[in-house]
């Protein structure tokens, strides 16, 4: 811990003993802190009196609670602190003073007036890792609101999404919010490793636009290294073919041949081995150039069977392929593959089915102790704890003692 009086009970997870002060809301920050909570960190979620906006983002909902909020807030304590109130500000600073990690996603500079910015926290807790999430960074974009949809548009992602002759589309998922939350987690863990070696805390900053440009990887490189601006290609890949949906007898199936050896296997599995010997298709570069000649030949062969039949045939042949499922189909597939995608978080009437943390550990598995908290659920508990510097805070609310914290 950063300070000796900030004791936190251990939980057995790989991040056991870490205390996280979560001043974030909506998606990127809460996603990051849920990841850390799953892995053993003690997370105290701080909300304003009106609460995290996602509590009201419904429908859909479960038992009157937004499923958006439910999906990213398990394993956390919850306390309501009004930063406009002097006493509550003092409690928030005390939480930050005890914490190993502080994470926030206010507009850049938004916490300065409350004395909860990085410099203020570092003055009382120099070992703290203070993570800030913004939409467009702290320079010229500091005043810009950081919504995922805006960043999808402004970064160029939407220009890559959709059919070539149709309008640009957003991703069906708030992809850059999620990725930025993951980048924040990576940055925090790297900073913690540095602190382990040096004792030094530091400010970790991530923003949605920088994350977007990095996440577009090969497309960004196409422009900055190749001087070419990528364009919409529907479901096609700019450098590989086949690598897209193709029609079987009853619908479309994704078919991938990412190298020459895979294409040979595909040609044989389709009953068209001569395609692998055709000079137009034998090499990746030629298949890419001659995709309009190759596509109808593949479509003709795929018409012989259903999606499920081709999935079985091609999988047996070692060829990457897959159906285009809805979410329920994706969950069902994960279940069939033994990935156990759904976990019950909490117990009794408050238990909530949620998606499993995707990381597997052989010794320190993620935990699923407590469901997402109600607004201010642990107000009395956390306020008493902050007033009692020598007490222990249990890792999750599910393991917390009844009443006040214990010494």
Instruction: Give the residue numbers annotated as catalytic, written as ranges.
Output: 177
Which residue spans within 232-313 are E strands per DSSP?
A: 243-248, 251-256
Q: Is 87 helix (H, G, I), strand (E, B) or coil?
A: helix
Cα–Cα distance measured from residue 395 to residue 80, given in angstroms and rounded to the nearest whole number:
19
Does residue 243 contact residue 321 with C-beta atoms inside 8 Å?
no
Output the DSSP codes for 94-148.
Answer: HHHHH-SEEEE-SSTTTTGGGT-SHHHHHHH-TT-EEEEEESS-SSTTTTS---H
Alpha carbons 34 and 294: distance in angstroms, whole number: 46
Q: Which residues contact 51 (CB under 8 A, 6 or more apart)?
A: 80, 375
Largest CA distance in the chain: 78
- Helix, strand, coil content of the chain in percent (nearest 5): 40, 15, 45
C-alpha count within 13 angstroms, C-beta hemisphere, residue 117: 11
CA atoms in the 13 A half-sphere facing the CB of 162: 13
Element (H, E) at 312: helix 307-316
């Amino acid at each position: 811990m950063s300070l000796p009086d900030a004791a936190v009970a251990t939980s057995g997870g790989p991040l056991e003993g870490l205390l996280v002060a979560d001043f974030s809301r909506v998606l990127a920050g809460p996603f990051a802190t849920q990841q850390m909570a799953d892995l053993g960190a003690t997370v105290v979620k701080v909300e304003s009196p009106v609460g995290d906006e996602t509590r009201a983002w419904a429908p859909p909902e479960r038992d009157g609670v937004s499923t958006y909020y439910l999906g990213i807030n398990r394993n956390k304590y919850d306390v309501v602190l009004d930063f406009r109130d002097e006493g509550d500000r003092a409690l928030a600073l005390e939480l930050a003073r005890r914490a190993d990690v502080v994470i926030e996603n206010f507009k850049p500079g938004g916490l300065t007036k409350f004395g909860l910015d990085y410099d203020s926290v570092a003055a009382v807790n120099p070992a703290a890792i203070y993570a800030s999430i913004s939409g467009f960074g702290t320079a010229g974009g500091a005043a810009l609101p950081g919504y995922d949809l805006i960043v999808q548009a402004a970064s160029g992602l939407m220009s890559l999404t959709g059919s070539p002759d149709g309008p640009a589309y957003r991703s069906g998922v708030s992809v850059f919010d999620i990725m930025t939350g993951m980048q924040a987690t990576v940055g925090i863990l790297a900073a913690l490793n540095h602190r382990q070696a040096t004792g030094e805390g530091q400010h970790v900053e991530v923003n949605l636009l920088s994350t977007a440009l990095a996440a577009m990887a090969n497309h960004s490189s196409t422009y900055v290294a190749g001087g070419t601006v990528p364009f919409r290609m529907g479901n096609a890949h700019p450098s590989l073919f086949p690598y897209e949906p193709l029609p079987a007898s009853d619908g479309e199936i994704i078919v991938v041949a990412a190298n020459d050896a895979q294409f040979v296997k595909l040609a044989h599995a389709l009953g068209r081995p001569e395609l692998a010997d055709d000079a137009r298709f034998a090499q990746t570069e030629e298949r890419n150039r001659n995709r309009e000649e190759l596509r109808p030949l593949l479509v003709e062969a795929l018409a012989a069977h259903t999606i499920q039949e081709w999935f079985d045939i091609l999988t047996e042949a070692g060829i990457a392929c897959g159906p285009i499922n809805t979410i329920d189909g994706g969950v069902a597939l994960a279940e069939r593959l033994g990935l156990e995608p759904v976990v019950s978080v909490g117990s009794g009437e408050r238990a909530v089915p949620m998606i499993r943390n995707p990381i597997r550990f052989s010794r320190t598995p993620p935990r699923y102790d407590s469901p997402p908290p109600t607004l201010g659920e642990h107000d009395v508990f956390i306020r008493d704890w902050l007033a009692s510097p020598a007490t222990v805070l249990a890792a999750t609310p599910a393991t917390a003692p009844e009443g006040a914290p214990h010494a």
